[in-house]
A and B are shown apart, each in its own frame.
Chain A
Amino acid sequence: MLHPFRALTKISSRKQRLLAGVALAILAVSIAGLVGLQTRAQNAGLAPLATDGPASARPWVRYTGWPTRDTSKFNSLTAIVSPPSPTAPRKLVRELAGDPAAGQKLVADRSRGGSCLACHVMGSAGGADLPGNVGPDLSEIGNAGRDDEWLFNYVNDARVYNPETVMPPWGTHGIFSEAEIGDIVAFLKTLKSLARFKTALDDPFKRPAPIERRDNLDSMINPAMWLVEERAPALWKATGPSGQSCASCHSAPAQSLRTWAASMPKWEPRLNKALGVEEFVTRHAKATTGQSWLMQSEENTALSTYLRYLANGAAIAPDTESAQAKAAYKRGEALSARKIGALNFSCADCHGADKSASKWIRGQWLGELRGQLDHFPTWRTSQQSVWDIRKRFQWCQVAIWADDLPPDAPEYGDLELYLAAQNAGRRLSVPGIRH
């Protein structure tokens, strides 16, 4: 099932000559010959990489326990296939005869895209239990004098009134039927008094922003530290099929790699994509030690966490200056604004400072893009596992009912480069710890 790499990067004759020179210098100072490999790579500016084949399992299979609903008829980061937005509000030919009691159930139904309450306070609906505040408080919408047609169209597809809206097109995307939207409209018209919250924490407009205070670098607190303290150093010394280990070339990684991970992701001309730490580990290890440490394997996550840990304190500083990196950044920026999935969200819809960032989606805080990278890979207490940034990307997509991509997808490389640029200057603190 794992796709084997077939070829290693060829070393040009110029580089071989360079290597010979370096090797002589090394003999002169009696340093172990293997160090020459590292020197060669550094002098040539190009680390050996296996460039054939994917860096993650094929076919890519979504993680066990993740939703498996078919979202192939909606936009993803690789396809534009969602149904088009209507051009004008729908005219209602007859009065809606919705059932407000049915509507009350629908607005709290979390199997339908998270429920209306995820974004709106709606009076007593759902017991006023942890609603969000991405959208306006609708507790008094029944007093607002909105007619059925306006309410129907707003729920059906709000883009007919506001092209900038972040509200999912519930009707156009088939998440609620016309009859159900009628029920929701009937319920909305009954909303005439402010929500009464059981506690201040239930009110999203008063709920304080969460602050992570746990010491993420204490192994008594963060189990991801065990990867850094034990697993990764053992893998570093493990001899691969080629007879080499990471330590063969990188004998003192704490010194030689103390900023490297902060420069990632990086545009890689040999692969024509931006490589993050994880994909680099897969391809570099294959080319040097012969290890098959595919992305999302336990070994890859341990080493990627370790490499970023070694760069703790270094400021995130990806190259976005070269022409190709600039183009990748532009593509990443465009991808971050692309509306995808049945819920039709872009990255910017939830994490843009001018959109929904620093608001609550149900009980979850939507952070700005700046601040979303320096702690990855991070321990997730709710998952009891370490997630790298690619897995986080994948979950964002699955959570908004969109198709995810394999972790080595070039689109993720572009997106990660864009995200890293938004986080430039922030200092790594890895592994992080989050809910």
Chain B
Amino acid sequence: MAERPRIRLPKQANKGEVVEIKTLLAHLMESGQRKDSAGKIVPRKIINRFACAFNGKPVFECELEPAIAANPYLQFSVKVEESGVFTFNWTDDDGTVTTAEERITVV
């Protein structure tokens, strides 16, 4: 997918604050259960895994299933104790991994 991932989180937070992170990746999430006009199954192609780490330590991970709609949108909360970098990984069925990162400053 050509679209860049969309991520929203505050640029700044207080020490110990719980911040909300929203992520969205443009993806068709082809379930593998639809048929094309010739009656053939359209092969499954979904984002099957999402992971977020903060300063290298995992803070949120999940597996995604075929019933999840196109353009998977995930929202989760993280308690931040220090400034650093969030990294985000979306793993496609075809092995492609889309990555992104965002910085947060703790004051």
Per a CB cutoff under 8 Å, which of B8, B28, B37 touches A220? B8
Q: Which residues 198-235 of A have a CB within 8 angstroms of B?
A: 219-220, 223, 226, 230
Q: Which residues 8-27 of B have a CB within 8 angstroms of A?
A: 8, 22, 24, 26
With A65-B37, A220-B24, A223-B26 known as contacts, the answer to whether A384 contacts B6 (CB < 8 A) is no
> Is A220 within 8 A of B26, CB to CB?
no
> Is A220 within 8 A of B22, CB to CB?
yes
> Is A226 within 8 A of B70, CB to CB?
no
With A226-B26, A384-B28 known as contacts, the answer to whether A219 contacts B70 (CB < 8 A) is no
Instruction: Enumerate chain A residues within 8 angstroms of B26, measured Cβ to Cβ.
Output: 223, 226
CB distance from A203 to the nearest CB of B (A): 29
CB closest residue in chain A, given B4 = A230
A to B CB contacts below 8 Å, 16 in the list: A64-B37, A65-B37, A219-B6, A220-B6, A220-B8, A220-B22, A220-B24, A220-B73, A223-B26, A223-B71, A226-B3, A226-B26, A230-B3, A230-B4, A384-B28, A384-B70
The digit string for A380-400, where 1 denotes a CB below 8 A from any CB of B, is 000010000000000000000
14 more A-B residue pairs beyond the given contacts A226-B26, A230-B4, with a C-beta to C-beta distance below 8 A: A64-B37, A65-B37, A219-B6, A220-B6, A220-B8, A220-B22, A220-B24, A220-B73, A223-B26, A223-B71, A226-B3, A230-B3, A384-B28, A384-B70
CB distance from A215 to the nearest CB of B (A): 13
> CA separation between A174 and B86, bound complex, in Å?
64
> CA separation between A226 and B73, bound complex, in Å?
15
Instruction: Enumerate chain B residues within 8 angstroms of A64, measured Cβ to Cβ.
Output: 37
The digit string for A36-75, where 1 denotes a CB below 8 A from any CB of B, is 0000000000000000000000000000110000000000
Instruction: Enumerate chain B residues within 8 angstroms of A219, measured Cβ to Cβ.
Output: 6
Instruction: Enumerate chain B residues within 8 angstroms of A223, measured Cβ to Cβ.
Output: 26, 71
Instruction: Enumerate chain A residues within 8 angstroms of B73, measured Cβ to Cβ.
Output: 220
> CA separation between A64 and B37, bound complex, in Å?
9
Instruction: Enumerate chain A residues within 8 angstroms of B22, measured Cβ to Cβ.
Output: 220
CB closest residue in chain A, given B29 = A384
Instruction: Enumerate chain A residues within 8 angstroms of B28, measured Cβ to Cβ.
Output: 384
Instruction: Enumerate chain B residues within 8 angstroms of A226, measured Cβ to Cβ.
Output: 3, 26
Instruction: Enumerate chain A residues within 8 angstroms of B70, measured Cβ to Cβ.
Output: 384
Instruction: Enumerate chain A residues within 8 angstroms of B4, measured Cβ to Cβ.
Output: 230
